Amino acid sequence: MNSLVRRQICKSSACLKSSFRSNRTCRTGIHSRRMSTLPEGGSRDKSTVGVFTPKAAALFIATGAGLFYYFQYEKARLAEQRRKELEDKEVGRPNVGGPFNLVTQKGEPFTEKDLLGKWSLIYFGFTNCPDICPEELDKMSAAVEKIDSTYGPIVQPIFISVDPARDSVAQIARYVSDFHPRLIGLRGDYASTKAVCKVYRVYFSTPPNTKETDDYLVDHSIFFYLMDPNGKFVEAFGKASTEDDVVARIEKEIGLWKDKTGETH
């Protein structure tokens, strides 16, 4: 109440024009900006309190508060960004993979559900492939071998034929026996082959009007995929990836999976 009264006084012209003593009374009552704008009052303030004027104090506090809020805000923003990045990793996954219905080299049915619970490496090719397919399958088999020795059989190598006209079950059986002992060879009729290639974003093109006995090559995409134990796409490896690149990438993913679920697959 007292200070209010004083403020009233101070705001009046009487106060401003009053003597030094009453002026001081006013100053202690309020931080009167009005006063410091006055030439005489300002010089007097300086002489009494040094450089730490009310204006400077206000600026100091305002800057401090401003910085504090700015840092709080930045911190929150960065945390939000990190959270989003993690989310993006899930969201940004290429939409590769999906339902398919094929037959193994033993004549048993095999669908996308059979991929669950294990990591898989999937290569698309054909048994009459001159050099690239066997090279890639050798690389894949060697990588699986290495992972096997550290983690056990948690990565399933798979070969899917893109040559439905010539690659019979028996032919695929003979072909896959050349590579990793656990390699599964899959085939389907033209429609199911087309369908699996579509969901896996694999291109293949057989020459038109081919017969089973014709000698031809199939043009196709030559990378192999790493899929996680949920059957979700992780990575595609091309000719440029070495066996060690593949192993390192798989081990990294196994590590992340272990952090998340406590299991290696």
Partner 1 sequence: MGWFGSKKEDDQPLRHDRQKCWESRDAYFACLDATGVVKPGDEGSKCKETKVVYEQNCAKSWVDYFNKRRVLAEQQANVLAQVNSQASEAKRKS
Interface residues with partner 1 (CB under 8 A) are 127-128, 130-131, 134, 170-171, 174-175, 178, 215-217
Burial class (CB in 10 A: 0-12, 13-18, 19+), 159: buried
Indicate the residue type of 14.
Answer: A
Q: How far is the CB of 238 from partner 1 (least distance, A)?
A: 18
Q: What three-state secondary structure class fits 189?
A: coil
Q: CA-CA distance, 249 to 224, in Å (whole number)?
A: 13
168 or 192: CB nearest partner 1: 168
Minimum CB separation of residue 117 from partner 1 in Å reads 31
Helix, strand, coil: what percent of the chain each, to 5?
55, 15, 35
Residue 194 CB, nearest distance to partner 1 (Å)? Answer: 22
Handedness of CA 139, 226, 165, 180 (dihedral sign): positive
Residue 216 Cβ, how far from partner 1 at the closest point, in Å? 5
- Measured from the CB atom, is 108 or 219 closer to partner 1? 219
In terms of CB distance, is 157 or 229 closer to partner 1? 157
| Least CB distance to partner 1 at residue 220 (A) | 13
Nearer Cβ to partner 1 (126/225): 126
Nearer to partner 1, 80 or 219 (CB): 219
What are the Cα distances from residue 188, in Å, to 106, 108, 111, 185, 207? Answer: 13, 11, 11, 11, 18
